[in-house]
Amino acid sequence: MQEMISADGIHVPAAVLARGTGAMTAAERYGVLPMPSLAWTPEVEAATAHLYAKVSHVIPAIEWPFYAPYIKAINDLKKQRNAVILAHNYMTPEIYHCVADVVGDSLQLAKEATRADADIIIQGGVHFMAETSKILNPDKTVLIPDSRAGCSLAASITGDDIKLLRRRYPGVPIVAYVNTSADVKAEVDICCTSSNAVKVVESFGVDRVIMVPDQYLARWVASQTKIRIIAWKGACEVHERFTGDELNRYRLDDPSVSIIAHPECPPDVIAAADFTGSTAHMIKWVKDHKPKRLVMITECSMADNVASEVQGTEMIRPCNLCPHMKRISLPKILDSLVYMKDEVVVDPAVAARAVGSVQRMIDLKI
Ligand code: 13P
Ligand code: SF4
């Protein structure tokens, strides 16, 4: 078989033609670019100085010459590839402040994915977030810099489990946290995030709702509404490690300290906190209240990212790292742009069913 040049000028190897162009990988569709120079030069220093100002509180000056060449290369290649980076609030500061186009919690990222005006979406986050972007943008190329970036909640339940729940509780609506696979999203009635979970549950106007997979988010929602919640037994491996005793010790040390927690935490942690909310709601709370001393009970990078935006708040960091989020790094983002990997692929039949539950959540506009 002959090699050919496609209409958009991309060289299509004979082996790909033999498979059929529908099966082309992203690298075959877009081509691989040369790896840019990663030297620390006066030009790199000048081009990134305004970005260093945003992260100088957490990145020592001696380390900047390592980060800056990656940041410049990524920002240049984003333009060349017509790509956007959607980054979750748990991305490290050099990603969050220096290469991301959009930052936010799961809900904001899902909404922004529908507005993305680019050919390529690079997800700075975990796999379920990239899948959600792909489900909402079936015609765009969605890349995740490390496809092993999973989530203990998403791993705790399958589409078949939802089918069993349907048989066990006929007629009871099923709400899935977005921290689930496309297979699960395809089987449920609607999705929710920790920003809108209470309102999503109440949107059905019934007295019983099933919530999967986070038992702690479900318990927190149950404490905020009269609706009976039937919960799955999943948990976030990062947030379930916090304890109420730990929080009480911070209060004993300094009774004036403010403590805010994510709803994926166990109930004794939430009971000991001054405020509970999604990552975006936590950031808003800090900006609104400007506490003097603050403990953020969530993933470590959040406090680093918020610290540069809120002056006058001393962050006490009893945080836990999410090993999945931390798989995403500047070198891997650069590899994504150069080699067009790892492409997120969702079976179109599954995506066509899953999009309904995500879109119903977005359409509630809450
Ligand atoms: P948010 O939607 O609050 O950003 O939470 C996502 C997540 O994975 C928290 O662990
Ligand atoms: Fe999943 Fe927890 Fe990591 Fe969030 S912090 S991605 S819920 S494991």
Q: Of the ranges 1-5, 133-137, 175-179, 196-200, which one carries the lowest mean pLDDT score?
A: 1-5
Mean pLDDT in residue range 281-303: 94
Q: How far apart are the first and last CA of the chain?
A: 54
- Using the atom order of ligand 2, give the atom closest to the CA of residue 154: 1
Q: DSSP labels for 145-158?
A: S-TT---TTGGG--
Residues contacting 135, CB < 8 A, separation 6+: 182, 185, 346, 351, 354, 355, 358
Q: Under CATH, domain 239-321 is a member of which superfamily? A: NadA-like (3.40.50.10800)
Residue 177 Cα to ligand 1 midpoint, Å, equals 10
- What's the pTM value of the predicted model, to 2 decimals? 0.92
Residue 6: per-residue pLDDT = 41
Domain residues of the chain, as ranges?
Answer: 1-27, 32-149+327-347, 154-236, 239-321
Q: Give the residue whose CA is nearest to atom 4 of ligand 1.
A: 105
Mean pLDDT in residue range 290-302: 94
Phi, psi (deg, nearest 5) at residue 149 = -75, 90
Q: Which of 117, 115, 85, 90 is nearest to 102 (CA)?
A: 85
Point out the ligand nearest to the CA of residue 302.
1
Ligand 2 pocket, 178 CB below 6 A? no
Q: What's the sign of the alpha-carbon dihedral 136, 131, 95, 339? A: negative
Residue whose token pair is 């990222």: 109
At 296, is the pLDDT very low, low, confident or very high (cuts 50, 70, 90)? very high
Residue 320 Cα to ligand 1 midpoint, Å, equals 13
At 15, is the pLDDT very low, low, confident or very high (cuts 50, 70, 90)? low
- Distance, in Å, from the CA atom of 101 to the CA atom of 121, rounded to the nearest integer, reads 10
Residues contacting 112, CB < 8 A, separation 6+: 86, 102, 104
- Using the atom order of ligand 1, give the atom closest to the CA of residue 322: 10
Tell me, which fold does domain 32-149+327-347 have in CATH? Rossmann fold (3.40.50)
Which of 106, 107, 126 maximizes ligand 2 atoms within 8 Å of its Cβ, making it the mutation to test the pocket? 126
Q: Is the pLDDT of residue 365 over 90?
A: no
Residue whose token pair is 């496309």: 182
Residue 343 Cα to ligand 1 midpoint, Å, equals 22
- Distance, in Å, from the CA atom of 352 to the CA atom of 349, rounded to the nearest integer, reads 5
Ligand 2 pocket, 297 CB below 6 A? no
Residue 10: per-residue pLDDT = 44
Ligand 2 pocket, 179 CB below 6 A? yes
Please tell me if the domain spanning 32-149+327-347 has the same topology as the one spanning 154-236: yes
Tens-place pLDDT, residues 242-279 = 999 999 999 999 999 999 999 999 999 999 999 999 99
CATH architecture for the domain at 154-236: 3-Layer(aba) Sandwich (3.40)
Ligand 1 pocket, 48 CB below 6 A? no
Ligand 1 pocket, 279 CB below 6 A? yes
- The number of residues making up the chain comes to 366
Residue 11: per-residue pLDDT = 47
Residue 314 Cα to ligand 1 midpoint, Å, equals 23
Q: Of the ranges 10-14, 71-75, 353-357, which one carries the lowest mean pLDDT score?
A: 10-14
Rg over alpha carbons for the chain, rounded to the nearest Å, is 22
